[in-house]
Every structure is written in C-alpha cells, then in structure tokens.
Amino acid sequence: MSFRSEILLLIIFLLPMSTMAQSPADAQDQSPEPDGVKSGGYIIHQSIDLGVRDSEVTGSSGMYGTLVNLHTGPRILDQTFSMRSEDQHGFLFDNLYVNSTGWGGDANNVLRARAEKIHWYDFHASFRRDQNFFDYDLLANPLNPSTSSPSVSVDNSPHSFATTRRMSDVDLTLLPESRVSFRLGYSRNNMTGPSYSTVHLGTEASLYQPWNTTLNSYRMGVDWKVLPRTVLSYDQYLDYYKGDTNWQLSPFGQALLPTGSPVSLGLVFNTAANQPCAIPAGSTSLVDSNGVLTNLSCNAYQSYSRTERIRTSTPTERVSFRSNYWARLELAGSFGYSSADMTSPVNESFEGFQSRSSTRDYTFTGPTAAHRISNVGDFSATVFLADHVRLVDKFSYWSFRSPGAANLLQTSDVCAPPNCNLLTPLSQTTQTTSATVTDESFNQTWKRNQIELVWDISRKFGARIGYRYGDQEVTHINNFTTGDVDHWLVHGHTAILGLWAKPIHGMRLNFDWEHTNNDDTIVRISPRKESRYRVQASYTPRPWAVLGGSVNIVEDRNNAFLVDYRGHNRNYGFTASLAPPRQRFSLDLAYNYNDFLQNSLVCFQDVPPSGVVLPVVTNAGSCTAYDSTNPLLTSGYYTNHTHYGTSALVVRPVKRVTTKLGYSITSVGGSTPQFNNLEPAGDLHYKYHQPLAALGVDLGHRLTWNTVWNYYQYGEGSFVGPTAPRYFHANNTTISLHYEF
C-alpha cells in the first residue's frame, strides 16, 4: 500500500486530529469549548486527534535522529477525556481528566490522569516514554588521519546510543481538606536500550553497552494542621536503584592472525604515530591485502567483558512545617536525613595483548561498597516590620559523607620481552597477582544564610537589600589507615540589591544584582569573584499587545597564579505578542542572544606530526616550573555566541480557515584552541533552520482538518574532517483531523 493510500484510508475511516509538530492545537480555529454531553450527573467532554506523518530526510540520518527523531507513520497525536460532576456529588469521583499525546511511533509519548472526590481524595498519575537517540559523530571520535595504513574512518560516535526511558508516577492524597491528611506515591524510572562506549587498554576498544537501569521510589507522608494556618508534615521516601548495564567487546578495526583467529585493533588508526602499533619493516600496511595483521606485537583485543551490578537502597526521612499563625510572622522549615547503601561487585576480563605491560590476559574481580549519609535542612522567617516593610531570612544546610571500600584482585598472564606477541601461548606466560585495597571517603558540607530587607516604598516602586554568607567545605580522605587527607574550605560573602518599578500603566521593570567574593576555590574554573546582573521588563500598551525583554549577565574571575580564569555568560532576550481583538491575525516574535566565555591558563604536552604547524603549540609559553610533565602553557579558552530567533504569524482569512506561517533559526559561532589539525569546529559553527506552515479548516460537525509542514536544516560552517558529514535537511508533512464534543 502506498503512502498516499494510507492517507486516504485514514481520512475516510478515522476521526483524526490537528497537529503542528511542536503544538497540535495551534492550527485550529480558537472556537469556544463545546457544551459537552450530560449523562449520569456528569458533563462529559472528549476530543481525539488522529493523523499521519510523512518524513523525508536527506543527509545525515544520525544528526536527524539526534535533533528531530520524527518518522513516517500513522499517529494518535492527542486525546482528551473529562467528566465533571454537575453538583460535585459524583459517586466515585467529582472530576476526572485523562490526556495522552504522541502515540503510534513518536519519540515522546505521554499519558496523564487526574481524579478527585471533593473532601475525600485527590489522585494523579502519569506515564511517559522517551526514546533518546544520539549519534553526534564528533563525540569521542579519534579523527584518524587518511595517511594511516590502513586508513580507517570512524563514521559514527563511539558513544552513540538509542535508549528508551519509561517513567511512571502515581500520587494519592487522602482527606486533603481534613485536619490530618495522608499522601502515598510511587515512581518508576527504567532505561533500556543499546549504547556504545570505549575502554583504553593498550588501544581504544569499542564496547557494546546494553543499557539497563531501574529506579523504584516509594513515598508516604502525613500533613497535620496542628494550629490555624500551621501545617506540620512528615515524609518517608524509599529509593531502590538497580544498575544492570554491562560491557562487552564490539569488534572494530578487525584483522586476522596467521592462525585465522580474529582480533580487534580498536578505534584509533594512526600508524605514523604507532597507534595502535607501528608498521613492521618490510610491510607497507598494518593489515595486508588478505586482512592479516603484519605486526603480531600490536595492541589488540581478542575478548573483553565487564559486569558491575549496582544495587543501592536509599531511605530518607523528612520533617517540615509552614506557618503564618502570627499576623506579622511567617515561618517555614524542613530537615531531611538519608542513609544510602551501595554494593557493586566488579568482574572484568581481557584477552589479547598490551604491549606496554606485555600482558596477554587478565581478570579483575572483587567486591566494592559505599555508604552515603546526608543531612539537608532549611529554615526561613519573614517578619513584617510595618505594612510595607519586611525582613526575610533564609538558612540552608547540606552535609554528606560517602565512605567507600574496595578489595579487588587482579590476576594477569604476562610474558617476557622480546618474545611477546598475540601468538604467545598462555603456557609460556607468568601469572602475577596484585591486590587493590581502598578505604576512603568523600565529604562535603554547605552552609548558607541570606537576610534581606524588603521595602515596598509605594505602589510604583520597591527595593530590597541583603547579604548572604556561605561556606563550602570539602574533605577527601584518601586512606583512613594512613590519615592521607585533602581538605578545602571556601568562605563566600555576597551583597544583594533589587529594585522594581511600575513607572506607567502596563509597564513593570525589575533589576537584581549580586556580587560574591570567595576567599579560595576548589577547582580551576571556580570564581574568586562573581557578579550577577538581571534586568526584566514587560509592557502591555494594549490588552492585546504584550512586549517583554530581559538581560542576564554572569561575570566570573580568578586571578590566581597560573590560573587567570575569566568567564562570563551574557544573555539578552526580547519577545512580542500581538493579537488585536476582532482582527483575523496574531503575531509572535522572539529573539535571544547568548555570549559565553570560559578562559583559563592550561599546561599541556604536544608534539604535532611532521609537517603540521599548530599555532597553539608554536606560540605556547613555558609551564615547566609548575608541571614538568606538561611543559607547554596556553590560554585554554572556549567562546560561544548563539543567536536564536523565532516568528509565528496566524491569519484567519475567513471564519472557518486558520493559516500559520512560522520560522525559527539558531545560529552559533565560537572558537577554542585547535590541538589537532584534523579537528573541525563542529557545533561551534552551525545554523539550524526550522520553517513551518499550517492550514486548519473547520469542516463543521465538530470536525477540523489540519495540514502541517515542517522543514529542518542543520549545517556546520567548517570543514567536515575525517568524519561522516553531519548536514541534513528534512521535510515533515502531517495531515490530521480533530474531533471533539
């Protein structure tokens, strides 16, 4: 059956729906909600949206799946069902609402349900399935040069995945309006599907990683209205996590041994740099015309596997309260305690050859366990000093410690150079064993207190001024037995200022400023000084015209020796929405610009291949006095400039016809040091276009026809490099009908 025949059958036999790839209802005429059907004391509304999509993709299917992932086929695009009791005295429920979207093959499916019986219960449930596809082929790509022999390109991301996440939530509140009410809940989060990873053991092997993780969460709570306008709550959470993901060799760069057995040479092929090994004298290639490996002392894998079944249980207790019992005082606070236990036995095996250690095979096994104790608390108080003046104090605390222990045993079969290679029988190796025993802990504590004086000076102007103190303490106990400990303590002081104004009718302006001074840092890109500025403006000159603008700026500095960190994130945005009454059009516009910088000094070691000149190497300074193993010094900068614009015009030329034209574009430009002349700029230089057009026709009898066209085009502004091109463009057409009563 052809695709056009599928469309005709769908139109004839189904009651389909209106959709636009992003917003199903946008193409419809905005008609009043139908009266519904009255039955059994309920008012019933229902709608269903069925359609079919045709997707035509040219170029990189991996990038299309990563960014769009919408495909051809019939769809249940949207469905709603509601029942409302006319007198709020229904038998099982007073209100019921069910909604679902995206069924039939879309990457994201959602089902939501709500039911309530006034005074008795309130029930919420949802299910969501997200199919996550990712294959950005530059991620973890070794960028193998064409000069290698053999020349092997890596056309897909070595860390690609196509996983499915299923998320379920159920919550029930009993006696919600009573003095004592009860809450029960359950959530399940399961992720499965194929994915790929890598491991470095002499060479970079490709691993197949079938993903399988599950988190089951149980919760129960009680709320007690102990006094008027005062609620005391207790919650118990029980979280159980299972990680059953494993790793196994995914053959890449295969060759044959003279015996005919296959080996995997891994992802990296740069024989000029002896990766995975050098071409032996007398040969012109690492793999001959018959596919036989010419260097038997090469790093290679015959087999690899790793299992590490993670089991974690995390019970958490939480007590909280909120009260405005006193007219001039509002209080709120909570404290939570959790104690988690994790077991993760390791079982890893390798067979092949590691030239550096002359290892033919090894096994790595043993138990590992960790414990995590966490205390989280917060408290806030608002004191109304006068009718328009209040003092607000907020305190938060978080402390955790994670002691862990492992007792691992490695058994290796090692041969004696120079008679070591992939054909060395295990009977001619020497077995060695080594134990790895760890007993360490990672501890952190945060404390923060913020106090503000807020003054609503008049109906048109207000201000707040405040101060925040915080400290972060990190302790890493490397070994309990020897007392080897690393310790950091950072104190931060922040000044706070905020202003708001309503200078004219329909306009509101907000300004917020914070400046933080830290007396130390924990990592190189942590700021010693940080300033934050935020300006927001909204203006409604007419009820049908809404204008908005925002400025958000973060400035970071750390001038420590051989760090010289500077960073900023500057964001500017504008929106406009126009929908004149009794006019047959509406217009929405938005623009956003983001400027990101992260820059600090870095020490590195690099020797470019013969004939290759890299400015980052030739212009590097000296870092020898600080790090002799990485003697070159440069500015490790990263810049990103992102422009995003979108527009949507809706026109209703006649009462029963609605048209829409839209367009959005993302344009990115940036830079970073080039340590590899084969490395393209990739997503630091790209444009992503998304125009659309839609037509909706009210056919009468509660039926609406919709046709939507979406176009996607992604292209990068630099050379592709030794990778598969990432450019694509796609046409998606969706035809649907919408029915409701």
Residue 188 lies in a domain: no
| Number of other residues whose CB lies within 10 A of the CB of residue 193 | 16
pLDDT averaged per 10 residues in sequence order, the chain, 741 residues: 34 32 40 71 95 97 97 96 91 95 94 96 98 97 95 96 98 96 98 97 95 98 96 98 97 96 96 94 95 96 97 98 96 98 97 95 96 97 96 98 96 91 94 94 97 96 98 95 93 98 97 97 92 98 97 96 94 97 93 97 89 91 92 96 98 95 98 94 96 97 96 96 96 97 91
Same domain, 373 and 273: no
Q: What sign does the dihedral 386-390-391-393 (CA atoms) show? A: positive
Among 437, 458, 492, where does a domain finish?
Answer: 492
Residue 81 lies in a domain: yes
**Of the candidates 331, 446, 466, the residue with the CA atom closest to the CA atom of residue 396:** 446
Please say whether the beta carbons of 608 and 632 come within 8 A.
no
CA–CA distance, 298 with 286 (Å, rounded to integer): 9
Same domain, 487 and 523: no
Q: Greatest CA span in the chain, whole angstroms?
A: 93
Note down the domain range covering 28: 1-134+175-183+715-741
| CA within 13 Å, CB half, 348 | 16
Question: Which phi and psi (to 5°) does residue 682 adopt?
Answer: 60, -130
Same domain, 266 and 363: no
Residue 522 lies in a domain: yes
Same domain, 440 and 564: no
Say what the pLDDT of residue 130 is: 97
Strands (DSSP E) contained in 565-700 are 565-578, 585-604, 621-622, 632-654, 657-671, 685-700
DSSP assignment letter at 416: -
Residue for token digits 């004592």?
180
Question: Do the strands 329-343 and 368-386 form a parallel or antiparallel pair, or are they unpaired?
Answer: antiparallel
Q: Is 209 exposed, middle or buried (0-12, 13-18, 19+ CB in 10 A)?
A: buried
Residue 698 lies in a domain: no
Among 472, 492, 512, where does a domain finish?
Answer: 492
Number of domains in the chain: 4
Say what the pLDDT of residue 2 is: 37
Residue 697 lies in a domain: no
| SS3 at position 598 | strand
Q: In 14-127, which ranges are continuous DSSP H helix?
A: 61-67
Say what the pLDDT of residue 127 is: 98
Q: What is the pLDDT of residues 79-100, one digit of tens each?
A: 999 999 998 888 899 999 999 9
Same domain, 118 and 143: no
Please say whether the beta carbons of 238 and 315 come within 8 A.
yes
pTM of the model as a whole? 0.90
Please say whether the beta carbons of 690 and 23 come within 8 A.
no
Residue 687 lies in a domain: no
DSSP assignment letter at 628: T
| SS3 at position 684 | helix
Same domain, 388 and 240: no
Q: What is the pLDDT of residues 169-181, one digit of tens each?
A: 999 999 999 999 9
Residue 121 lies in a domain: yes
**Of the candidates 351, 350, 345, the residue with the CA atom closest to the CA atom of residue 244:** 345
Same domain, 650 and 636: yes
Same domain, 510 and 655: yes
Residues in the chain: 741
Same domain, 117 and 150: no
CA–CA distance, 137 with 160 (Å, rounded to integer): 8
Same domain, 476 and 365: yes
- Provide the residue type at 278 as one letter: A
Say what the pLDDT of residue 24 is: 38
Please say whether the beta carbons of 144 and 154 come within 8 A.
yes
Per DSSP, the residues of 470-507 read: EEEEEEEEEETTTTEEEEEEEEEEEEEEEEEE--STTE
Say what the pLDDT of residue 34 is: 58
Same domain, 66 and 93: yes
Q: Which are the contacts of 703, defined by CB distance < 8 A and separation ≥ 6?
A: 15, 737, 738, 739
CA–CA distance, 419 with 270 (Å, rounded to integer): 25
Among 659, 679, 699, where does a domain finish?
Answer: 679
Through-space distance between the first and last CA atoms of the chain, rounded to whole angstroms: 33
Q: Which residues pair with 264 in a beta bridge?
A: 254, 301
Residue 544 lies in a domain: yes
Same domain, 448 and 539: no
